[in-house]
Amino acid sequence: MKKVEHIGIVVKDLTNANALFEKLFNQSHYKLEEVESEGVSTSFFKVGDTKIELLQALQADSPIAKFIEKRGEGIHHIAFEVDDIQSEMERLQAEGFELIHTEAKDGADNKKICFLHPKSTNGVLIELCQEKRP
Ligand code: ZN
């Protein structure tokens, strides 16, 4: 793993949250993106080398909506950048970590992504992400 690529924060209302985080960081988000497959609308801010991803559920049955229902708004996941997501997934699986999906999926911000189940990582949802190469 190379670095913390971004931190994901779930919010109920992306428009309100964008306005708030713009004030907090004193800059606007650089990207808005819907990820249909995950049922989320996202925005991204860049603070130094680390990005902050805000996520709002698109549908009531999306995983983010369920997360908010159970735990409320707040930090949702920490994403680490990797060079080769497939080999990193195999390495972690061999180490006994539980992957939420067996194949890397398309995520926001031009990434291939995979999540580790929080029950195998002390309650922290961890995302692996690899920049998609053209
Ligand atoms: Zn993420």
Phi, psi of 17 (to 5 degrees): -65, -40
CA of 4 to the centre of ligand 1 (A): 11
Chain segment 98-133, per-residue pLDDT in tens:
999 889 998 888 999 999 999 999 999 999 999 998
CA of 119 to the centre of ligand 1 (A): 18
pTM of the predicted protein model: 0.93
CA of 52 to the centre of ligand 1 (A): 9
pLDDT at residue 48, as a whole number? 94
- Whether 134 has a pLDDT exceeding 80, the answer reads no
- Whether 47 has a pLDDT exceeding 80, the answer reads yes
CA of 22 to the centre of ligand 1 (A): 19
CA of 6 to the centre of ligand 1 (A): 6
Chain segment 16-43, per-residue pLDDT in tens:
999 999 999 999 999 999 988 889 999 9
Give all strands of the β-sheet with 50-57 in edge-to-edge order: 31-35, 40-47, 50-57, 3-10, 74-81, 126-131, 111-116, 105-107
pLDDT at residue 104, as a whole number? 95
Q: What is the Cα–Cα distance from 7 to 127, expressed in whole angstroms? A: 9
% residues pLDDT > 70 (the chain): 100
Q: What is the Cα–Cα distance from 52 to 79, expressed in whole angstroms? A: 10
